[in-house]
Amino acid sequence: MRITFLGTSHGITEKNAFCSSALATVGTAQYLVDVGAPVDTLLANLDIPLRDLRGVFITHPHQDHYVGLAQLTYTVEDFGRFEDVRVPVLAPEGIDFNALNVFLWGDPRGHDRYRTEDPPERRIRFRVYPDAPPDGSVIFDDGTLRVTAFPVRHIPHSHAFLLEAEGKRVVFTGDLLRDLSDYPTVITSPDAPPLDLVVTEAAHVRLDDPETPKILAKSKTPTLVVSHRAPGRNPLSAVENLARQIAPIRVIAAYDGMVLEV
């Protein structure tokens, strides 16, 4: 599995950093975790055709994690060259996709288009997954990638995702509470199998809080990527300090375009 970080910023875009989005690649199959970035352009930059997109997963209903869906939806639905695209978008409760379609196409066309479940011409297929129970629930499995959602407490309907493919296990924490009291136990539990990669947020937590490294050090992973980073709260020096504190876990500050082979 290859992870490409398309957007690594926090709530707003920063210089050369879009809001949250990551691409998981398994063979030729492509999957997106959060869509805060203009992903149709970024995938084109990577020469990845949109027809290779097999699924989109949104961690929680905050705009910087889904605003790029507006452009993706418009691009895919409106242009003939994307007729062969069929993408399920797995989203939590709290996002009004009908309003998105009214915004894009006006009323009543938007309502007409999306009132019935999956009209045949629909290419972007919105699905709401229910809030996950504490031990997680599988929200997607196409035989290539399995995604399990775990609840976190950032805002209502917030989730971390476990991605499993090719025998590899990767967790995206999504957004968390400032004190990391909801840092997912699938990462730290002695009973859980070890992970190959954890991608955690740094928009809300303070990496220089003395409690933070104690929690992150429990992560059962060789590599911890710090993404969704607010540079004012967590400058690069704070990431470097964290790396010294939780060695031998390798800590990497994500940047837009960064690629990791897992």
Q: Which among 84-92, 94-102, 174-182, 186-194 is the span making contact with Zn ion, rule CB under 5 A? A: 174-182
Restricted to residues 27-46, the positions that interact with Zn ion (CB under 5 A) are none
From the list 61-69, 125-133, 232-240, 251-259, the region that binds Zn ion by CB under 5 A is: 61-69
SS3 201: strand
Identify which of 31, 91, 85 has the alpha carbon closest to the alpha carbon of residue 61.
91
Counting contacts by CB under 5 A, is residue 123 touching Zn ion? Answer: no
Helix (H) or strand (E) holding 207: none
C-beta of 62 vs 123, nearer to Zn ion: 62
62 binding Zn ion? (CB under 5 A): yes
175 binds Zn ion (CB under 5 A): yes
Among 58-66, 92-100, 137-145, 159-167, which window interacts with Zn ion (CB under 5 A)? Answer: 58-66
- Residue 216 is inside which H or E element, if any? helix 211-216
- Is residue 10 close enough to count as binding Zn ion by CB under 5 A? no
Minimum distance, C-beta of residue 154 to Zn ion, in the bound complex (Å): 5
**Rounded alpha-carbon distances, angstroms, from residue 157 to 30, 34, 165, 226:** 25, 14, 25, 22
Between residues 160 and 165, which has the closer beta carbon with respect to Zn ion? Answer: 160
To Zn ion, the closest distance from the beta carbon of 204 in angstroms equals: 8
Rounded to whole angstroms, the Cα distance separating 239 from 179 reads 17
CA pseudo-torsion sign 119, 115, 137, 77: positive
> Before 193, cis peptide (omega within 30)?
no
Interface residues toward Zn ion, by CB under 5 A: 62, 175
